[in-house]
Structure 1
Amino acid sequence: MGTITPILNPLTLPDGAVLKNRLVMAPMTTCTGFYDGTVTSELVEYYRVRAGSIGTVIVECCYIDNKGPAFPGAIAIDSDNKIPGLAKIADAIKSRGSKAILQIYHGGRMVEPALIGGKTPVAPSAIAAPREGATTPQALSAEEVDVMITKFGDAVNRAIKAGFDGVEIHGANTYLIQQFYSPNSNQRDDKWGGSREKRARFPLAVLEITHQMADRFAHDSFIIGYRFSPEEIEVPGIHFDDTLYLLEKLAARGLDYVHFSVGSLLRPSIVDTQDPTPLIDKYIAMRSPELAKVPVIGVGGVVNKADVETALAHGYDLVAIGKACIAYPDWADRILNDEQLELFIDSTRREALTIPEPLWRFSLVDAMIRDMSSSGRKYKAGVFQEKVEAEALKLKINVTLDTDRITDISLVPDDTLDVDFSATFESLRSRILVANSPHVDAITGATTQSEALKKAVSRALATSSKEHVIDEGGNPSAPVVYDVVVVGSGGAGLAAAIQACDEGARVAIIEKMPTIGGNTIKASVGMNAAETRFQALKGIKDSKDLFYDETLKGGKFKNNPQLLREFVNLAPEAIEWLASHGIELNDITITGGMSIDRTHRPADRSAVGGFLISGLVKNINTRNIEVLLETSVADILFENGAVTGVKVVDEYNDTRILNAKSVIVATGGFSANREMVVKYRPELDGFVTTNHKGATGSGIAMLQKIGADTVDMGEIQIHPTVEQTTSYLISESIRGGGAMLVSQAGQRFFNEMETRDKVSAQIIALPEKSAWIIFDEQIRLNNKAADEYIGRGFVISAATPEELAAKINMDPTALQHTLERFNQFVEQQNDEDFGRKTALRHPLNQGPYYAIRIAPGVHHTMGGVTINVDTSVLDSQKQIIPGAWAAGEVVGGIHGANRIGGNAVADIIIFGIKAGHNAAVHALS
């Protein structure tokens, strides 16, 4: 045991409970509950092994009502049948000598409809959360508010029956209790809203009923705590003085502790960004003598003993430990013995650390996992400064590196600092530090700023790496040897790199753009596959032969039959490959040209692209795969009839040779190269494109230089539903969910579920050369992409069809007639006008109603280089070019004259995996 420390001092709470030390395990989401919120045995063991030396364990939040879960796999306390499972957790913790406290909550407007059976979440007011894609909740009536308070009381009673030593009322994280107190989310005009005093009534009522239950059913020292978020950045929002007002009221009624909910122990204000004073210091200075009697818990960034002692020195009475308790079940013993710990988890030790499988896959943990079998990249230790530019924002970033890790990222002080960027910076900084990589998910709603910061960190790593080589006496411009070089970081390139690495190859990824993801990140609908496990679970009867026939027909029988058969046969295996890598596409919809639901997408029905890239990048981060951003391939090196590597040029115009026996080209198509598009299809001049600006056909050109042949170059697909002012693709999942297309005259004009080329041609034939996609609330609730479109501002909505028609300058009688006729076809499952056979899911009769003006845009180039079924690139004589491989949209022949929606994602994963395998085998043989 180390030296004497205040950490081990016991603490007596106001109601008499004695905590044996100042350490608390923070309540952290594990996503490990059953579908109905009951407790699993692995969750019980997870808490058992972490109890003991730590004084108190606060168990993750339990939702008190079936409309309350804010995340998948949440555990519940909404009925008496949950008591036995929760009792096992309480007993497991207490048997090891720790106090067991249960956090209770309701997610309110932060609940996703998909988590509650498609129902609309509830909140104080019908105001959506200020986040991208948020659902507008249903306002609780005055009677329902009273019922909700009762449900909190019932939850406290159940916690007592389960044997917990106390409860923590979760009034933070923008959940329901905080929503009632916030002027942003509570705009009621009854006794539950309006003034600060009225908005405080709900949290006070929840505390009151908690006391009543404790007085009736619990022992005298039953613990009652309250967790709070000290500020909101929204305007209007909760300010620090508002929080103190509420806490004073709560303390007057009686609390055993209050619990700061912040990302860092000493975080200053996120509202008053000019004041660097830690909020805990302000809290200590401003609280009343009455509130000072209530112990306060701090949380955020605690890893080592010094972190705890710093927190106690600043006035916290207790210190909550989060991620460190996941990584080290015996964390308290380790720090009390003065061990210095790093926040990471060995990728081989999930079972040894008793981490449940769902938690292992959760982003909180996933970002901490390191592959300990590889040595990783080496840097020169020090501070490296880089500039960040994001639109009008110009900042400087200091990146502090150790020899193998990013240890800190900080903003160089600037009086013109954008407040919004400050919040983005803190969130993204945490993600990068935990992952030890700049390749992490962007912050929702701040993509441009996120990518700029990630770019700055990437530059710092590259600079440091070069300096490390120089210090070691090497030449940073000297040739480097790899087994496999992958050109392009979209889905095909990432899948290929992962597979090649897993087969023992040393791999590098070259990406000319400043960010990872390519065009894949813009994919929306899903991934087609037939005869999958997920189809079987949903009772969907499908066949590979039918999938083959429908794709061949959709491609106008121009598809390469060998490639298409390989594509169809391997699709289910590719779905399983993704699932085995933590990327599960288990919800299923349909796209145009298909007769069966076979388009696999994420469970939350979000766009597939971002989900796919996020999951693949996490796999890249856990492997020793080098990623070179803003680096172009000038040439594929070719000697003695075989590929020998690539010549690359970075953003500083420095040239370098990467030697490799295998080069995989996965650079995508050429939809963003207007000259190239017009060369093959002059009539497409002037069309917008849905593609990112890197889709220029560079990979086709570099392969042609070493003799590659091409096929179907004139086969360029236009997508029928593109929002023209932003070039944003409106996912086929909206039509596949049951939407219809109407002309400006308010009339349907074609079968919406026909292939893209045919639907596009019909829209172009309309007088206005555009159309409206019309859908209702039922479709919105089942397609998360719809909320994204609403958030982007190009959806027009109205309570009734008549109001919608007025807003889009359409004859209301015509639209109403079209709706009624369409709904009749849905009811009888027979489209008498246009023969639509699929996606007649339900009548469009649930307001609000939504409309988006769309027209075709250049979307996909079916032509590209020729390959065989092994993904080897072929020359004009159909002979293999040794060492050259290709996958994804850079390849021609698979899709024929028209690509079916959902087949592109299948294409990139199927042939990306295959290219990675064959390239590695060739390089290592």
Structure 2
Amino acid sequence: MNTLTPILNPLTLPNGAVLKNRLVMAPMTTCTGFYDGTVTSELVEYYRERAGSLGAVIVECCFIDPKGPAFPGAIGIDSDNKIAGLARIASAIKSKGSQAILQIYHGGRMVEPELIGGRTPVAPSAIAAPREGATTPQALTGEEVEVMITKFGDAVNRAIKAGFDGVELHGANTYLIQQFYSPNSNQRDDQWGGSRDNRTRFPLAVLDITHKMAERFADDTFIIGYRFSPEELEVPGIRFDDTMYLLEKLAERGLDYVHFSVGQLLRPSIVDTQDPTPLITKFRAMRSETLAKIPVIGVGGVVNKADAESGLEHGFDLVAIGKACIAYPDWADRIIHNDHLELYIDSNRREALKIPEPLWRFSLVDAMIRDMSATGRKYKAGVYQEKVEAEALKLKINVALDTDRITDITLVPDDTLDVDFTTTFESLRNRILVANSPHVDAITGATTQSEALKKAVSRALATSSKEHVIEEGGNPQAPQNYDVVVIGSGGAGLAAAIQAHDEGARVAIIEKMPTIGGNTIKASVGMNAAETRFQKLKGIKDSKTLFYEETLKGGHFKNNPVLLKEFVELAPEAIEWLAAKGIELNDITITGGMSIDRTHRPADRSAVGGFLISGLVKNINQRNIEVLLETSVEEIIYTDGRVSGVKVVDEYYDSRILNARSVIVATGGFSANREMVTHYRPELDGFVTTNHKGATGSGIALLQKLGAGTVDMGEIQIHPTVEQTTSYLISESIRGGGAILVSQAGHRFCNEMATRDKVSADIIALPEKSAWVIFDEQVRLNNKAADEYLAKGFVVSASSPQELAIKLNMDLHALLATLERYNLFVERQQDEDFGRQTAMRHPLNQGPFYAIRIAPGVHHTMGGVTINSDTAVLDEQQQVIAGAWAAGEVVGGIHGGNRIGGNAIADIIIFGTLAGRHAADFALHH
């Protein structure tokens, strides 16, 4: 018996198994399994590193059935071929002296179809989970319920064969076992549902078969635990007395522990919010003598020894440690020696802490990561006042700086200020202080104000940096030395800068606009790639050969075959490069010109541009890569047969030289340069553009001064679906989600999923030269971008097609006939009118109904400078211009005569990272 701290006292479980202390590692999702649920070596080492001082390690939940995984990268125990990998985890844990317990589960209605090859999830009843976009599951038949119980038994048998000391039945977190007990998710009328007694049958049956397997194949000390969520918010839903009723029933059958699943050890009721009594206190007061003999585990918020001791004082027998075990693999040793711990992770220590990359990118860990390295920036300490001006907003801020970081940002009191900026200011202030950088995400709904504030902070930093140089006896206008200078801060520029930095180069980014993101931030649909891990997870069979052929066909066979081959081959690697940087594009849709779902986008199905730039900028901040905003490049300096730097001019018209052995031009296209567009395509005069105003072709001009060759300059793409009053692009994902195009006369007039040039031509051929994108509630729910369009006010909505026709001043009978005919085509999966073969996902028949008036707009310039497959810029004689590199829309040849939707994002990441790698290598080794 330890008299210094009770957490080190051993505990004998009801079955006689002994835990050497009262500490266990909580089961936490790592998303680190292979696509088929098998175990990776990374995962084995993760658990090995954390075992030893703890009494037991409860390994994250394993799905017991192919339809059971509730998240990407889940590990499985659904077949015998999983035993070997799981045995490696069990062996690793036990070799360090901890008990190894495996949590097993089935996700039920919480499973996304994308995780199980597009199949429909199963559940007790055909009732969707109460969350946005949830799929309605298929109700298990009585026979299938019996089979499911058997599968739990099989999983227990496999856990025993793998060498685990026990299993934890996951009856929490709204997964299948809990779904059977919940009156919200279980509305069956057979023996498995209805009354509370009937709803206990499934968890009791799973426990019974677990006991049978343990009695048959394991020794007497095999541990059987049960995790539970004590309450549900839903009405009807599980209440605490329901939970106690179930736990008493389980206790009668025999358990070795029960495990509260709550966010905090001493959490009170989430239903009776007026009662502050911790649930563990209620549990102890209500439990019977039988249940009192079963140890109870508490979890949530345990970081230091005092937290664990408090848990035991309040009546828990064991304490589970979650995030602190991730941050500190030797957590138990540290707290035994009375170390006081803070819950954060040094951004440079992922490998040392044996944290798998997928877990590193998971929100659970991401929130704990801090950049502990020196910033590399040097300021003159003090307070700097700057003006913030945006539309009606005019105010001043004070930016307090230490020599290496931003210490505070405050508003200067102003009695004349009549704009309520407080909420936006406080939120953005916190983001900037945490990042130690003004380059953070804008506040949703206050973009203009956010950008104005970020700009003011950037100016304060620039002023302080200049004063620091002067104070040190230097000249702010003196040349500065870098290995690589990147011109442009869109996706290609940011990707290039990150890669060049990671190759060991000192990097600076030059951006002429006041904000980061370039035209990429306006991108909507996603990123194309074939044969990716995420396609395999969803059961999508694709090939790089088909991707190549469809892109070549879409580009009218004008694509540079060498660049296109590189593009297609490296696309899956680019998806993984992003994922490794915390930018995971794991949802998949389709765009025009493609025959297979290969357009990767964020899991929440939001527009890819903002998500991508946000993630890339976070990586820029973590690496302390210098970004010079509102700074233009006057010329790329070329001496002695090679690039040697750039001459830049800032917003105050101060000029200086940045010396660099490599310069990467990633300035985008020229869609916003009307003179340049009409020079090459006079017929496009008067067309709106979807591009930001910085897309003027300045990078092409800079490189042409060095003699760079160009290609395909007349190949300018117009996008078919642009809202004309705002020049806002209506994402191709809306049509890819099932929408149709309808003329003012109420008729479909084209294959909506044809390439952009063809659809644009069909719209221009209409008498009104515009059309309506029409979709229903099903399309809206699966495309977050639609909510953005609704918020911006250019969506016409109606409860029925009849009402929509009236609002659109459209022939009612024509629209109804069009919808009826299209829905028939969807049912048959055959478009007899226009040959549409993709994205006929479901009939358009669920109100409300929506429409957006669109017409074509200038969207992408396929032409640009010539490069080789290393992204080196070529002159007019196809010779390399030493030290000059280019990536993104500034480059020509990749997309040929027409760009396929989703290929631009792939282009900027693939060739951006290539440019960064080769530019850094050239600068450092030549």
Q: TM-score, normalised by structure 1?
A: 0.71
Answer whether contact 1:520 1:609 (CA < 8 A) is retained: yes
* Equivalence for 1:519: 520
Residues in 1 aligned to 2:569 and 2:188: alpha-carbon distance in whole angstroms: 56
1:19 aligns with 2:19: yes
* Equivalence for 2:414: none
Unaligned runs of 5+ in 1: 412-416
Residues in 2 aligned to 1:549 and 1:16: alpha-carbon distance in whole angstroms: 68
Q: CA offsets, 1:801-823, max 9 Å, x none? A: 99999999554334434555687
* Equivalence for 1:488: 488
1:320 aligns with 2:314: no
State the one-letter code of the partner of 1:901: G
1:756 aligns with 2:756: yes
| CA spacing shift, 1:244–1:892, aligned 2, 3 Å | same
* Equivalence for 1:632: 630
* Equivalence for 2:100: 100
Deviation at 1:720, TM superposition (A): 1.5
Deviation at 1:53, TM superposition (A): 1.5
Residues in 2 aligned to 1:177 and 1:202: alpha-carbon distance in whole angstroms: 13
| CA spacing shift, 1:258–1:593, aligned 2, 3 Å | closer
Residues in 2 aligned to 1:448 and 1:144: alpha-carbon distance in whole angstroms: 55
1:137 aligns with 2:133: no
Alignment of 1:105-254 (within 5 A): 105-122=105-122, 126-127=127-128, 129-131=130-132, 134-138=133-137, 140=139, 150=149, 154=153, 158=157, 161=160, 166-170=166-170, 172-173=172-173, 175-176=175-176, 207-209=203-205, 212-213=208-209, 222-228=223-229, 244-245=240-241, 247-250=243-246, 252-253=248-249, 254=251
Q: CA offsets, 1:478-500, max 9 Å, x none? A: 75532222233322112321343
* Equivalence for 2:571: 575
State the one-letter code of the partner of 2:299: G
Answer whether contact 1:128 1:136 (CA < 8 A) is retained: yes
| CA spacing shift, 1:7–1:589, aligned 2, 3 Å | closer
Alignment of 1:469-868 (within 5 A): 480-511=480-511, 512=513, 514=515, 516=517, 518-519=519-520, 522-527=523-528, 538=541, 540=543, 542=545, 550=553, 553=556, 564-575=560-571, 577-578=573-574, 581=577, 583=579, 592=592, 601=600, 609=609, 620=620, 624-628=623-627, 631-636=629-634, 644-645=645-646, 647=648, 649=650, 659-669=659-669, 671=671, 690-691=690-691, 695=695, 716-722=716-722, 729=729, 731-732=731-732, 741-743=741-743, 745=745, 747-767=747-767, 769-771=769-771, 786=783, 789=786, 809=812, 810-817=814-821, 820=824, 836=835, 839=837, 853=852, 855-858=854-857, 860-862=859-861, 866-868=865-867
Residues in 1 aligned to 2:227 and 2:265: alpha-carbon distance in whole angstroms: 17
* Equivalence for 1:70: 70
SS at match of 1:104: strand
734-743 vs 485-494, greater mean Cα deviation = 734-743
1:261 aligns with 2:266: no
Deviation at 1:115, TM superposition (A): 1.0
| CA spacing shift, 1:380–1:910, aligned 2, 3 Å | closer
91-100 vs 474-483, greater mean Cα deviation = 474-483
* Equivalence for 2:415: none
313-322 vs 676-685, greater mean Cα deviation = 676-685
| CA spacing shift, 1:577–1:465, aligned 2, 3 Å | farther
Answer whether contact 1:727 1:857 (CA < 8 A) is retained: no
Residues in 1 aligned to 2:421 and 2:680: alpha-carbon distance in whole angstroms: 46
Answer whether contact 1:548 1:565 (CA < 8 A) is retained: no
State the one-letter code of the partner of 1:75: I
State the one-letter code of the partner of 2:262: S
State the one-letter code of the partner of 2:889: E
Residues in 1 aligned to 2:727 and 2:268: alpha-carbon distance in whole angstroms: 40
Deviation at 1:901, TM superposition (A): 3.0
SS at match of 1:567: helix
Alignment of 1:276-425 (within 5 A): 282-283=278-279, 289-290=285-286, 295-300=296-301, 302=303, 308=308, 318-326=318-326, 329-337=329-337, 343-344=344-345, 350=351, 359=359, 377=376
Deviation at 1:727, TM superposition (A): 6.3
Q: TM-score, normalised by structure 2?
A: 0.71
Answer whether contact 2:424 2:450 (CA < 8 A) is retained: no
Answer whether contact 2:99 2:165 (CA < 8 A) is retained: yes
| CA spacing shift, 1:456–1:841, aligned 2, 3 Å | closer
Answer whether contact 2:662 2:883 (CA < 8 A) is retained: yes
Answer whether contact 1:156 1:210 (CA < 8 A) is retained: no
* Equivalence for 2:416: none
| CA spacing shift, 1:328–1:646, aligned 2, 3 Å | farther
Deviation at 1:37, TM superposition (A): 3.6
Residues in 2 aligned to 1:27 and 1:410: alpha-carbon distance in whole angstroms: 42
903-912 vs 68-77, greater mean Cα deviation = 903-912
Residues in 2 aligned to 1:18 and 1:640: alpha-carbon distance in whole angstroms: 74
Residues in 1 aligned to 2:427 and 2:169: alpha-carbon distance in whole angstroms: 28
Q: CA offsets, 1:392-440, max 9 Å, x none? A: 99999999999989999999xxxxx9999999999x98x997x998978
Unaligned runs of 5+ in 2: 412-419
Deviation at 1:685, TM superposition (A): 8.0
Deviation at 1:862, TM superposition (A): 0.9
Deviation at 1:776, TM superposition (A): 10
Q: CA offsets, 1:550-586, max 9 Å, x none? A: 36527xx6x7xxxx34422421453265256354989
Residues in 2 aligned to 1:203 and 1:385: alpha-carbon distance in whole angstroms: 65
Residues in 1 aligned to 2:14 and 2:649: alpha-carbon distance in whole angstroms: 67
Answer whether contact 1:299 1:321 (CA < 8 A) is retained: yes
Answer whether contact 1:503 1:917 (CA < 8 A) is retained: yes
Deviation at 1:740, TM superposition (A): 5.8
* Equivalence for 1:414: none
Deviation at 1:890, TM superposition (A): 3.7
* Equivalence for 2:916: 916
Answer whether contact 2:865 2:890 (CA < 8 A) is retained: no
Deviation at 1:638, TM superposition (A): 5.8
Residues in 1 aligned to 2:663 and 2:104: alpha-carbon distance in whole angstroms: 54
Residues in 1 aligned to 2:448 and 2:179: alpha-carbon distance in whole angstroms: 28
State the one-letter code of the partner of 2:376: R
Q: CA offsets, 1:614-638, max 9 Å, x none? A: 775676566x451537x21144366
Deviation at 1:118, TM superposition (A): 0.6
396-405 vs 293-302, greater mean Cα deviation = 396-405
Residues in 1 aligned to 2:24 and 2:474: alpha-carbon distance in whole angstroms: 51
Aligned-residue sequence identity (percent) comes to 53
SS at match of 2:574: helix
Answer whether contact 2:797 2:851 (CA < 8 A) is retained: no
Q: Once superposed, what is the RMSD of the aligned Cα atoms?
A: 6.7
Answer whether contact 2:735 2:839 (CA < 8 A) is retained: no
